[in-house]
């Protein structure tokens, strides 16, 4: 009787262990599904649903790694699966959505514009794949407080915000399509260059916050709820510009110190 009880207890423990390992991968699968649905919605012309799905994928992608670290269930399989999911959710999906929304209509202005549209969409997908490959290869080295290049979820969020805003505002015309191409291509380039972006990984879940910091969280959610497409596009736009902005600031400070040293000599 006692032996059966111990066997049952071991079985329950093993089941719980498998369940813990399963949960992060379920979140990753959810992110993959959201990215796939964004492709389907974009192909059907439901661009608002496609953009929202990309943001859902971002939330699930942020949760799966954190859950795995909190539960001590990080595995090589999980990391590889997460990278493959990210290629679809933050590479192929945004590229297809922005192409279906507007880049394919560049062809209405000439065959050259037609080629430009799908090439830009393809370059965004390639930039995401290269960014993820570099992140996987260099994950164990470098400063954990900074990303090397624009993170692909942020790039996808910026493109999704633009599509959502443009669809909501019913923008059209070659100037708007050209702007869409510039936004897509610029984010693709920023993912590949070695510009430092803050990772915000030093903010722990158990960290104490001041009242003003805590109050800022619901204020941000309220602002997003008032006008989701404009606020999300603005927030992600600020983060996208943060990398080049910090680089320019460091170059200015470096040049100023050089001038001061020469003046002191």
Per-residue pLDDT band for 19 (boundaries 50, 70, 90) equals very low
CATH of the domain at 233: 1.20.120.1760
Alpha helices by DSSP H, listed for 44-151, are: 47-70, 76-87, 93-101, 111-137
Average pLDDT for 171-190: 95
> What does the block give as tokens for 44?
């059907």
The total number of structural domains that make up the chain: 1
User: Each residue of 223-246: pLDDT tens digit?
Assistant: 888 899 999 999 999 999 999 999
Q: How far apart are CA 69 and CA 78, in angstroms?
A: 11
User: Each residue of 185-216: pLDDT tens digit?
Assistant: 999 999 999 999 988 766 655 566 676 667 77
List the domain range (segments joined by +) for residue 219: 2-264
Alpha helices by DSSP H, listed for the chain, are: 2-43, 47-70, 76-87, 93-101, 111-137, 152-169, 174-192, 211-226, 228-264
Q: Which residue has the higher pLDDT, 108 or 180?
A: 180
Q: Which residue has the higher pLDDT, 127 or 64?
A: 127
pLDDT on residue 110: 84
Q: Which residue has the higher pLDDT, 7 or 128?
A: 128
Per-residue pLDDT band for 51 (boundaries 50, 70, 90) equals very high
pLDDT over 50 at 16, yes or no: no
Q: How far apart are CA 262 and CA 40, in angstroms?
A: 60
Q: How far apart are CA 233 and CA 70, in angstroms?
A: 31
pLDDT over 80 at 38, yes or no: yes
Q: How far apart are CA 107 and CA 120, in angstroms?
A: 13
């Amino acid at each position: 009787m006692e032996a059966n009880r111990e066997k049952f207890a071991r079985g329950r423990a093993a089941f719980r262990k498998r369940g813990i390992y399963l949960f992060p991968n379920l979140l990753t699968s959810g992110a993959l599904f959201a990215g796939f649905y964004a492709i389907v919605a974009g192909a059907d012309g439901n661009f608002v649903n496609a953009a929202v799905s990309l943001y859902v994928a971002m939330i699930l992608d942020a949760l799966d790694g954190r859950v795995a670290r909190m539960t001590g269930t990080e595995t090589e399989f999980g990391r590889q699966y997460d990278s493959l999911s990210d290629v679809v959710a933050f590479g192929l999906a945004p590229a297809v959505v922005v192409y279906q929304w507007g880049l394919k209509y560049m062809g209405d202005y000439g065959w050259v514009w037609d080629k430009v549209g799908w090439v830009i969409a393809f370059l965004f997908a390639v930039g995401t794949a290269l960014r993820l490959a570099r992140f996987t290869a260099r994950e164990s080295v470098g400063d954990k407080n900074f990303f090397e290049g624009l993170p692909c979820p942020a790039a996808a969020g910026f493109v999704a915000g633009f599509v959502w805003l443009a669809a909501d505002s019913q923008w059209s015309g070659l100037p708007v399509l050209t702007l869409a191409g510039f936004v897509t291509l610029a984010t693709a380039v920023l993912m590949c260059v070695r510009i430092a972006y803050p990772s915000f990984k030093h903010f722990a879940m158990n960290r104490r916050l001041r009242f003003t910091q805590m109050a800022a969280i619901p204020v941000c959610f309220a602002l997003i709820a008032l006008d989701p497409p404009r606020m999300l596009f603005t927030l992600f736009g600020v983060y996208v510009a943060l990398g080049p902005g910090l680089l320019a600031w460091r170059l200015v400070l470096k040049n100023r110190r050089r001038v001061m040293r020469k003046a002191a000599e």
